[in-house]
Amino acid sequence: MKNKEWWLGGVGFVGAWVMLFIGTMTLVAAEPSTWPQAGGPHGQWIAKDATAPVSWSVTQGRNVAWRTALPEGGQSTVVVWNDRLFVTTNAPWPKDSAKKANGRDVVGYCLDAFHGKILWTVKLPGIRDMKYAGIFSDSTSPSPVTDGKHVWFFNASGFMGCWDMQGKEVWTRAWQPRQRHHSRQFEPYLVGDTILNVEVLDKVAARSTAMHKELPAGVEPRKLWTYIHGIDKNTGKIKWVAEAGTAIHNTPAVGMTAAGMPAVLHGRGGGHAPPEKPYGWSLTSLAPGEEGKTLWDLAIPGAGSHATSQWNGDVACWFHGPEHYVVDAVKGVVLRKHNIESDVTVTRFDVDQQEYVTDANQSLRVGKKGERGTRITNQANILVGGYHYFLSWKGHFVGRIHTGSGKVEYLEVPSLVDRRSGNESRVWGKAPLNDTLNSRGVDIGAVDKRSKGDGWGHVSAASPIVVASRIYFPTMLGVVYVLDRRADVWDEKALLAINDMGPATQTWSLASLSVAHGRIYHRTMKEVVCIGKPFGKGVDR
């Protein structure tokens, strides 16, 4: 079935099946007023709202509807359902504390989506400490999920729960995480009546391991693997566990097979020798009666999975060292491989001449050292319209590869834009250090100096989003690049805007953007921001 953009239009057989099967989940609502989970209305970080803003500056107050300060930082994506907005933060760190910012508790927020007023909050106590503002994740990395009747909040330190739209608790559930850092695989999905969450299989063994950092006697290693769990949205009970494991480095993605059946793509492998084997990728069924069953496995020795899983009904695409894999999404076999560092086209900014220059048939080293080293900024990739888009690991390049021809193009972008003086200056190459101060002036990122970097390379970066013909790439510096994904030539003309979420070197974010009501919603370490025209009185409740 050739329907590579079923999620954009929601039409045809596959699109109709999506609405039929997942009618009880987030897709049932009118898309322009909702962004119900981190992956958006269809779980693929893609929406069709062509009215969403392209250009703005929070520093200059340009094209900003409202801003609401939060007392502590966090990394979850803002989710929206009509007039309600949901987001999480870490529990506020004591301003006078001499300790480094490690903690386990999270606060869930409900705001008025039209004006930014905080309506209510809930507490989500955790089990295990994690770094605040960690470059791979923190306790707030999993974003809320809502269906318009309830909201589910998550704490990666071992807690989740369900509340109604007025903040009344329905159920809560504590669970034991592993004694390992968690990357941004913690993006839950709501599929029908089931929430997908990634957890260790044996919670009791995980608790002992967390205490002693040794595998308890008699415990099978596989019991300490992490797996996708299907959680009943109404009760919080575990309904099923996937057959194949999932590494902490990989962000699974839901979608539809070419036969019109729901499934989730996920991977294993990566740095720090995650235990789940064999390294490679799996497609797992979400169809009624077949939940958790493996549709196919693709084993690739030494594979890394430092990315968001990207696939459609026809192909799945992966980065493995310098190679880009295109996999048959039906059979799970490799169709073709392309090198993303040789015979590429590069459009680079010449600082001396102050102009862009394009050269074809180039070699460009964009990855870290090592033959199989990571070549893209972790999680910063998206597949749409026959191209796989990504941020480089080294340098500051937005790349794209055509999944059919294998043509690779790179466009250099400035690492930072500074508008604090009222004018605009651009930094090319290495950016100055970014502060990690929350809205109360507390440096919550001091526990990890890497958090003060530019957010390219060794960081579990936010996933980009696609809105109609545009791609929005956010970075840890609070910069958001907007590019024309339908550009025939990947040069400076494809770069539509470079936006800021606040003053240069003073704005930190690891969250993805969301789109609803023709506005962009985003969050930084200090605040939640609504980008676009202010709402009129007619939307007041």
Whether this prediction's pTM lies above 0.85 is answered by yes
- Does residue 190 form part of some domain? yes
Average model confidence (pLDDT) across the chain: 90
DSSP 420-463: TTSS-EEE-SSPPPPP-B-TTS-BTTTT-GGGGS-SSSSS-PPP
How many structural domains comprise the chain? Answer: 1
Three-class secondary structure of residue 212 per DSSP: helix
Integer Cα distance of 345 and 276 in angstroms: 37
| Position with higher pLDDT, 345 vs 27 | 345
**Cα separations in angstroms, 485 against 114, 382, 465:** 29, 11, 11
pLDDT for the residue numbered 100: 83
Write out the two tokens for 463: 């996933």
What would the pLDDT profile of 486-521 be if each residue is shown by its tens digit? 999 999 999 999 999 999 999 999 999 999 999 999
Query: Is the Cβ–Cβ distance between 472 and 461 less than 8 Å?
Result: no
- Residue 148, judged by CB atoms within 10 A of its CB (0-12, 13-18, 19+), counts as middle
- Residue 198, judged by CB atoms within 10 A of its CB (0-12, 13-18, 19+), counts as buried
- Does residue 328 form part of some domain? yes
- Does residue 335 form part of some domain? yes
pLDDT for the residue numbered 4: 34
Write out the two tokens for 319: 């980065």
Of the ranges 10-19, 32-41, 177-186, 524-533, the best mean pLDDT one: 524-533
Lowest mean pLDDT among 203-207, 319-323, 448-452: 203-207
Q: Is the pLDDT of residue 371 over 90?
A: no
Query: Is the Cβ–Cβ distance between 244 and 216 less than 8 Å?
Result: no
pLDDT-derived band at 372 (thresholds 50, 70, 90) equals: low
pLDDT for the residue numbered 2: 34
| Position with higher pLDDT, 22 vs 358 | 358
What would the pLDDT profile of 256-270 be if each residue is shown by its tens digit? 999 999 999 999 998
- Does residue 38 form part of some domain? yes
Sorted by sequence, the CB contacts under 8 Å of residue 421 that are 6+ apart come out as: none
Query: Is the Cβ–Cβ distance between 324 and 340 less than 8 Å?
Result: yes
pLDDT for the residue numbered 258: 94
| Single-letter code of the amino acid located at 11 | V
Q: What is the phi/psi pair of residue 208, to 5°?
A: -65, -40
**Cα separations in angstroms, 103 against 76, 93, 174, 206, 384:** 16, 8, 16, 19, 38
pLDDT for the residue numbered 19: 34
pLDDT-derived band at 446 (thresholds 50, 70, 90) equals: confident
- Does residue 427 form part of some domain? yes
Buried b (16+ CB within 10 A) or exposed e, 384-403: bbbbbbbbbbbbbbbbbbeb
- Does residue 1 form part of some domain? no
Integer Cα distance of 75 and 131 in angstroms: 12
DSSP 491-535: SGGGEEEEEESSSTTS----PPPEEETTEEEEE-SSEEEEESSPP
Nearest to 175 by CA among 219, 229, 212: 229
pLDDT for the residue numbered 17: 33
DSSP 10-59: --HHHHHHHHHHTTTTGGGS-GGGEE-STTTTTTSSEE--TTS----BTT
- Residue 421, judged by CB atoms within 10 A of its CB (0-12, 13-18, 19+), counts as exposed
pLDDT for the residue numbered 29: 42
pLDDT-derived band at 215 (thresholds 50, 70, 90) equals: low
Integer Cα distance of 403 and 320 in angstroms: 15
CATH number of the structural domain spanning residue 164: 2.130.10.10
Three-class secondary structure of residue 221 per DSSP: helix
- Does residue 142 form part of some domain? yes
Q: Is the pLDDT of residue 18 over 50?
A: no
| 204: enclosing H helix or E strand | helix 203-212
| Position with higher pLDDT, 14 vs 351 | 351
Q: Is the pLDDT of residue 89 over 50?
A: yes
What would the pLDDT profile of 218-257 be if each residue is shown by its tens digit? 778 888 899 999 999 999 999 999 999 999 889 999 999 9
- Name the residue range of residue 434's domain: 6-539
> Residue 452, Cα to own-chain centre: how many angstroms?
20
pLDDT for the residue numbered 213: 60
pLDDT for the residue numbered 184: 67
Alpha carbon distance, N-terminus to C-terminus of the chain: 45
